[in-house]
Amino acid sequence: MDKLRIIFLCTGNSCRSQMAEGWARALAGDDIEVKSAGIEAHGQNAMAIRVMKEVGIDISRQESIRVNGEMLEWADLLVTLCDHAEAQCPLLSPHTVKVHLPLADPAKIRGEDLALLDEFRQTREKVRQRVEFVIEQVALEAAV
């Protein structure tokens, strides 16, 4: 069987979807193929890179890119991580399944560095939980 191909999609592909791509690679390894994208491309987020590095996952080489038709055709599973991505996602091919697991965007929060760092850490853990859920569901489906 071919590997399952997953795209994690959020608004800017700088935080949530980037974290999800990193977690999926770390948790599922070679069992899946994974990409991340955004409705827009906001570039890399230094705070997201920092908090992922704290758990031993380097996302600094991942690119912030806009989703396109080729990516959507490639994907077996699309996981939207925010309501904006869910609403603005282009049409999917008939074989692509979409799952919506929304999270607030930590990049929109303003405040002191320590408070921001805490928000990004909380988001990192929420993203991990969502990625674990997706991987568990994929494993259950494969077992059937």
Residue 82: active-site member: yes
* Sheet with 32-38: strands ordered across: 32-38, 4-10, 77-80, 97-100
From the list 82, 127, 131, 134, the catalytic residue is 82
* Distances in whole angstroms, Cα of residue 102 to Cα of each of 41, 53, 60, 141: 18, 23, 23, 22
From the list 4, 6, 9, 10, the catalytic residue is 10
Residue 89: active-site member: yes
Residue 15: active-site member: no
How many Cβ atoms sit within 10 Å of the Cβ of residue 42? 18
From the list 19, 39, 85, 89, the catalytic residue is 89
Active site residues: 10, 82, 89
